[in-house]
């Protein structure tokens, strides 16, 4: 076997299964799962109906590059959403469909990291982080370098703390905005600063923006890397690659549909990589995705549902827990009154509510593990269930 596999961590949900094994939750309380970020709002009906009309596409192989109509739908969505005017996405050169961003976040690292790079390549990522970033770096033979994102600094990565030797070896930097689990949103100036760092130290920015459509103020949607690159006039989106998904935006996690867009040179080489990698989207998923990217009404309605849940849940939890409305996304990331594993196990045992211990999403870096004594609470179930869960969490905190 590939010896690098031994470097992979147990995935957080397996760790959680281990933590709760042998624990029998109190009887009489229905299970509520807030541990996994799987949207549970209804998928848009018109998208599901489209799938029904496209069954005939199963009798042909889809291409890696996807239908021109899909790339056009994606490019026109992103050009509109991120005001890409000065430099706009060309559907032929800058866009590739992906079977969900997870697959693409993993595979782009394999395509970008050069095994012949003798200076041990570094991939910088936030800490806590979406676990694929680390696994992808390790399997590509790169060294993950974690930048802690903690409450005191507004969950910002401290780029000034990166030593010169690390910058020299950095080939790729992951951003996650809006952040999972912190909900922090990078501003235009921060993106611009990171683009400047990428030029100075010659690395690629992989900007994971799969929560970009879950926000609270309709007047100020989170900006994205392509938007800032376009404003700055970065030709061909050099060094900038963004990842977007229908999973959270359109409640279609099972469709496995997202896209990668940006640097034309990288997209060309990455297309070649993907031809061998073999993750083309089935024709019916492509047709459904075209419909989904073309509609904003269901996305606005989706945000209304999250807004209502945050309002209700924060009112219940704020008196007993250090919770705050995130800038975007659908997670709460509160500090816990006990260590995160003890808290999560106890909550499961006494209230039958599952949340994710924060340390399952983070590593110790610079002497700190920023996930310790925090839990991630995904407000994905329907409103009534989120309210019930909030009452039970409050009850549990009060009983400690």
Ligand X SMILES: Cc1ncc(COP(=O)(O)O)c(C=O)c1O
Residues that bind ligand X (CB under 6 A): 37, 100-102, 130, 176, 180, 208, 210, 245, 247, 253, 258
- Quick one: 78 or 316, whose CB is closer to ligand X? 78
- Quick one: 248 or 394, whose CB is closer to ligand X? 248
- Quick one: 190 or 388, whose CB is closer to ligand X? 190
Q: Shortest distance, CB of residue 164 to ligand X, whole angstroms?
A: 29
DSSP for residue 6: G
Nearest-10 Cα torsion for 368, 370, 374, 375: -130
Task: Identify whether the C-beta of residue 230 lies closer than 8 Å to the C-beta of residue 82.
Answer: yes
Exposed/middle/buried for residue 321 (C-beta within 10 Å: 0-12, 13-18, 19+): buried
Q: Shortest distance, CB of residue 78 to ligand X, whole angstroms?
A: 15
Q: Shortest distance, CB of residue 99 to ligand X, whole angstroms?
A: 8
Taking CA atoms, 351 is separated from 110, 287, 400, in Å, by 42, 42, 13
- Quick one: 208 or 388, whose CB is closer to ligand X? 208
Q: Shortest distance, CB of residue 364 to ligand X, whole angstroms?
A: 21
Q: How far apart are CA 242 and CA 133, in angstroms?
A: 14
- Quick one: 39 or 91, whose CB is closer to ligand X? 39
**At residue 331, what are phi and psi to the nearest 5 degrees?**
-110, 150
Write out the E strands in the chain: 32-33, 95-98, 122-127, 143-148, 170-176, 204-208, 240-245, 258-262, 331-332, 353-354, 356-357, 375-378
Residue nearest to ligand X (CB): 100
Q: Shortest distance, CB of residue 203 to ligand X, whole angstroms?
A: 20
- Quick one: 71 or 248, whose CB is closer to ligand X? 248
Q: Shortest distance, CB of residue 169 to ligand X, whole angstroms?
A: 25
């Amino acid at each position: 076997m590939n010896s690098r596999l031994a470097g992979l961590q147990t995935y957080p949900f397996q760790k959680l299964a281990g933590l709760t094994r042998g624990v029998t939750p109190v009887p009489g309380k229905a299970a509520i799962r807030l541990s996994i970020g799987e949207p549970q709002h209804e998928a848009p009906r018109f998208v599901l109906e489209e799938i029904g009309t496209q069954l005939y596409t199963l009798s042909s192989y889809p291409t890696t590059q996807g239908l021109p109509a899909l790339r056009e739908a994606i490019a026109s969505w992103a050009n509109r959403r991120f005001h890409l005017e000065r430099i706009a996405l060309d559907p032929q050169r800058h866009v590739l469909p992906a079977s969900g961003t997870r697959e693409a976040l993993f595979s782009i690292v394999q395509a970008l990291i050069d095994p012949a790079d003798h200076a041990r390549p570094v991939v910088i990522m936030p800490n806590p982080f979406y676990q694929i970033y680390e696994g992808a770096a390790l399997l590509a033979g790169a060294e993950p370098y974690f930048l802690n994102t903690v409450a005191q600094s507004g969950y910002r990565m401290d780029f000034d703390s990166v030593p010169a030797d690390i910058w020299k070896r950095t080939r790729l930097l992951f951003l996650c905005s809006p952040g999972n689990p912190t909900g922090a949103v990078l501003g235009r100036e921060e993106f611009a600063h990171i683009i400047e760092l990428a030029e100075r130290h010659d690395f690629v920015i992989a900007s994971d923006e799969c929560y970009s459509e879950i926000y609270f103020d309709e007047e100020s949607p989170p900006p994205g890397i392509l938007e800032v690159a376009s404003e700055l006039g970065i030709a061909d989106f050099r060094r900038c690659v963004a990842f977007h998904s229908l999973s959270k935006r359109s409640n279609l996690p099972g469709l496995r549909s997202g896209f990668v867009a940006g640097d034309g040179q990288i997209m060309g080489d990455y297309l070649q990589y993907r031809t061998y990698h073999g993750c083309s989207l089935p024709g019916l998923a492509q047709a459904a995705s075209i419909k989904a990217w073309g509609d904003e009404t269901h996305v606005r309605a989706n945000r209304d549902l999250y807004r209502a849940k945050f309002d209700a849940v924060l009112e219940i939890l704020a008196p007993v827990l250090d919770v705050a409305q995130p800038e975007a996304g659908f997670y709460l990331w509160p500090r816990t009154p006990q260590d995160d594993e003890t808290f999560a196990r106890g909550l499961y045992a006494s209230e039958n509510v599952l949340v994710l211990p924060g340390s399952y999403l983070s590593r110790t870096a610079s002497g700190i593990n920023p996930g310790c004594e925090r839990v991630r609470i995904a407000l994905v179930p329907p409103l009534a269930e989120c309210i019930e869960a909030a009452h039970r969490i409050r009850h549990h905190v009060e009983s400690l």
